[in-house]
Copies of this chain bind each other. A is one copy, B any other.
């Protein structure tokens, strides 16, 4: 791909202009589940005009809902103000860096830049909005870390978590989280009617990202945790059940209050006053829903927390568009389904 953005090497100018002009956007790796979802959101975005979408496997086919055809990445020659890179981990970062060097504002949806390489900003506006506003290369966060970060951050900052004990995070994700590559283990005949744990014992790729996000959000003071993802026989959605050791006297109501205060100005975070969110209430919406429950019958105080969100929206594409909005100076909710 040869990216010749309009505002070459001038990200500040680009951003100033953004508030008045629409941006030309390219999606690199647009036929995977995340890429498809980015395309779907961009089609309805008031300030974005999709000008290119790449796909190796579907090259030449029509990009759904658009007049474009998928092109091979190496055949792209375009002027893009905004690039969303949705390639597999290991490939994606290099593309993003190249597009960024050529002057585009870039959101990389892979894990490649999440540790901060190449000056990438970790893209969670609810926590690091100012950095995203002045950034031009955003590392979109992983799906699983999002529910954990949003649930624990207010409690950590309020000193409610007992850092001497281990947080347990039991998570379940719909199958689109595994991508759209043709792998036998994700065939309908394998996944339907099944449920299984994978990458058990802190072996998942997201574990360092979770640790990094929790440490950052609370000045380095974060609890140890065990993270276990499971594969759910549904297409979309992540539900995470957290077992949070708390200091004495911390009630579900106190946790709810801490979150309600922390997210008072955040339209994409829904704190349940009573009850716990379920998967379906969040699928198709770019929100993070969180609730807390008391636990009876244990001596060491603990809360159960459930966080639910759409892995393709608040866990990927919706978050990416939100990041693009913030970075571009547009309304943060533009083009995002709530």
Contacts and interface: CB of A to CB of B under 8 A. Distances in A.
B228 A241 contact: yes
A201 B233 contact: no
Contact of A194 (B165, B280, B297): B280
Of the listed residues A165, A183, A193, A283, the one surrounded by the most CB atoms of chain B closer than 10 A to its CB is A193
A202 interface: yes
Given A191-B188, A203-B296, A295-B202, A276 B196 contact: yes
A297 B57 CA distance: 34
B304 A184 contact: no
State how many copies of this chain the complex holds: 4
Contacts of A203: 296
Contacts of A184: 57, 180-182
A93 interface: no
Interface string A238-279: 010101000000000000000000000000000000001111
Contacts of A180: 184, 187, 189-190
A59 to B, nearest CB: 14
Given A175-B189, A193-B283, A196-B279, A293 B201 contact: yes
Given A182-B183, A194-B280, A196-B276, 11 more contacts: A175-B189, A180-B189, A181-B184, A182-B182, A182-B187, A188-B190, A193-B234, A196-B278, A202-B295, A203-B296, A224-B298
Nearest to A187: B186
A206 to B, nearest CB: 13
Contacts of A236: 193
Contact of A172 (B168, B230, B278): B230
Interface of A: 33, 57, 64, 165-166, 168, 170, 172, 175-176, 180-184, 186-197, 200-203, 207, 211, 224-226, 228, 230, 232-237, 239, 241, 243, 276-281, 283-284, 293-300, 302, 304, 306
A203 B296 CA distance: 8
Nearest to A236: B193
A294 B199 CA distance: 11
A234 B195 contact: yes
Contact of A232 (B195, B293, B302): B195
Contacts of A33: 189
Nearest to A57: B184
Contacts of A165: 165, 300
Contacts of A190: 180, 188
A196 B203 CA distance: 25
A193 B279 contact: yes
Nearest to A279: B195
A177 to B, nearest CB: 9
A302 B170 contact: no
A295 B202 CA distance: 6
A296 B200 CA distance: 10
